[in-house]
Structure 1
């Protein structure tokens, strides 16, 4: 077995492993020189409470390049009603930032999905290139809480809803 076939097999198994691992769904958005840009992400994670910080990874898409170059961006944590917008932002060329999706603009200039379960305005602290991706560690400078509800998760290349337990 050659090294490249081992790497290919390992990469395929790695993808299969994470397809079976459900994660939350977020939209990460920023404003660049050509206007707003955004992408769907399932890699958002809490890093620190003091200072408040989170992380995510992106590949080299045009939207990712705008986000990693921006002085600030917003990470929107999504609920089930946002599955259509999450799908749009996951597909190149699909409609984005349309009036029907519920966008507004923060006074600081970033796009805001008004009815997100939470919107975290961030500024980048560290950009770490890893292979074809970039891991972003960002300080959270503002938290806008929406209405809590059921969860939108990404699992095996699909968006699914998980009902919130009673009393939460």
Structure 2
């Protein structure tokens, strides 16, 4: 059987659709105001010093985040499925009061109800194909009171609330 590059790309996409991941909204202040996007590529890189990574495509919001001096990775909980959809699609509501946004003293938008919010600055930007991998130093961690999880799997946001015994 002969596999072409297109087949490999389709298989690669199908493989990662089968792999569930956590969901975050990454925010920054761009030249025209707050920007944000939904990401399922956030990963811990190092504890000492604290560092994380994520990848973004070439959208307007992604370019503004990559160019920003700092940003916030807001880790989403089960009650954030609609918010994840809003930040994953153009033209949807963003940074509305109903969504629960606040602003850190350093100027970045932060989701007050996030499971955790991590403020970071870029250490390395690595271009890979049509994506940019961002490796970032973490300078501040804000732990939220929420529990449960929001998972992205097979093009769906799936909410799981922790059950009380």
| TM-score range for the pair, normalised by the shorter chain length | over 0.9
User: Equivalent residue of 2:4, what SS?
Assistant: helix
TM-fit CA distance, 1:162: 2.8
Aligned residue in 2 for 1:158: 156
RMSD: 1.5
TM-fit CA distance, 1:165: 6.9
Moved over 3 A (4+): 163-167
Q: Distance in 2 between matches of 1:119 and 1:6?
A: 41
Choose which of 129, 132, 147 in structure 2 pairs with 1:131.
129
Aligned residue in 1 for 2:26: 28
Q: Distance in 1 between matches of 2:150 and 2:140?
A: 22
Q: Distance in 1 between matches of 2:127 and 2:4?
A: 23
Aligned residue in 2 for 1:74: 72
Residue pair 2:29, 2:68 contacting (<8 A) in 1 also? yes
Q: Equivalences for 1:1-168 in 2 at 5 Å? A: 6-164=4-162
What is the TM-score of this pair, normalised by structure 1? Answer: 0.94
What is the TM-score of this pair, normalised by structure 2? Answer: 0.96
What is the CA deviation profile of residues 107-164 of structure 1, one whole-angstrom value per residue up to 9, with x for unaligned ones? 1000011110000000000000000000000000000000141110000000002344
Residue pair 2:114, 2:146 contacting (<8 A) in 1 also? no
